[in-house]
Amino acid sequence: MASYSTREAAEVLGLSQERVRRLAESASLHPERQSRAWYRFDFRDLVLLRTALELENSGVSPRRLLRSLRDLKRQLPADRPLTAIRITLEADELVVQDDDLAWNPESGQVQLGLQVDEPGGDVEPLDRRRARPVAAQKSLAAVDWYELGCGLQSQSPDQAADAFRRAVELDAGLADAHINLGVLLHERSDLEGAEMCYRLALRADDGSATAAYNLGVVLEDQGKPEEATEVYRRAIESDRLLADAYYNLSRLYERAGDRAAALRHLRSYSELVKIN
Q: What is the pTM (predicted TM-score) of this model? A: 0.56
Digit-coded pLDDT (tens) for 13-64: 777 888 888 777 765 555 555 554 566 777 667 777 777 777 777 777 767 7
pLDDT band of 116, cuts 50, 70, 90: very low
Q: Can you give the CATH number for the domain in which 217 is found? A: 1.25.40.10
Q: Look at residues 239, 254, 270 and tell me which one is the last residue of a structural domain.
A: 239
Q: Give a yes or no: residue 30 inside a domain.
A: yes
Q: What is the pLDDT of residue 42?
A: 73
Write phi, then psi, for 236 (nearest 5 degrees).
-65, -35
Q: Give a yes or no: residue 38 inside a domain.
A: yes
Q: Give a yes or no: residue 220 inside a domain.
A: yes
Q: Look at residues 112, 138, 153 and tell me which one is the last residue of a structural domain.
A: 112
Q: Give a yes or no: residue 177 inside a domain.
A: yes
Q: What is the pLDDT of residue 148?
A: 84
Q: Give a yes or no: residue 67 inside a domain.
A: yes
Q: Are residues 104 and 141 in the same domain?
A: no
Q: Are residues 21 and 81 in the same domain?
A: yes
Q: Are residues 181 and 100 in the same domain?
A: no
DSSP per position, the chain: ---EEHHHHHHHHT--HHHHHHHHHHTT---EESSSS-EEE-HHHHHHHHHHHHHHHTT--HHHHHHHHHHHHHHS-TTS-GGGEEEEEETTEEEEEETTEEE-TTT--EEEPPPPPPTTTTS--HHHHHHHHHHT-TT--HHHHHHHHHHHTTT-HHHHHHHHHHHHHH-TT-HHHHHHHHHHHHHTT-HHHHHHHHHHHHHH-TT-HHHHHHHHHHHHHTT-HHHHHHHHHHHHHH-TT-HHHHHHHHHHHHHHT-HHHHHHHHHHHHHHHHH-
The alpha carbon of 44 is separated from its chain's Cα centroid by a whole number of angstroms, namely 15
Dihedral in degrees, nearest 10, Cα atoms 33, 106, 66, 10: 50
Termini Cα distance of the chain: 44
Structural domain containing residue 200: 129-239
Total domains in the fold of the chain: 2
Q: Are residues 80 and 137 in the same domain?
A: no
Q: Are residues 150 and 214 in the same domain?
A: yes
Q: Are residues 192 and 164 in the same domain?
A: yes
Digit-coded pLDDT (tens) for 81-95: 545 566 666 666 777
Q: Are residues 137 and 108 in the same domain?
A: no
Q: Look at residues 112, 137, 170 and tell me which one is the last residue of a structural domain.
A: 112
In this structure, are residues 168 and 181 in contact, taking their beta carbons and an 8 Å threshold? yes
Q: Are residues 145 and 101 in the same domain?
A: no
Q: Are residues 95 and 134 in the same domain?
A: no
Q: Give a yes or no: residue 122 inside a domain.
A: no
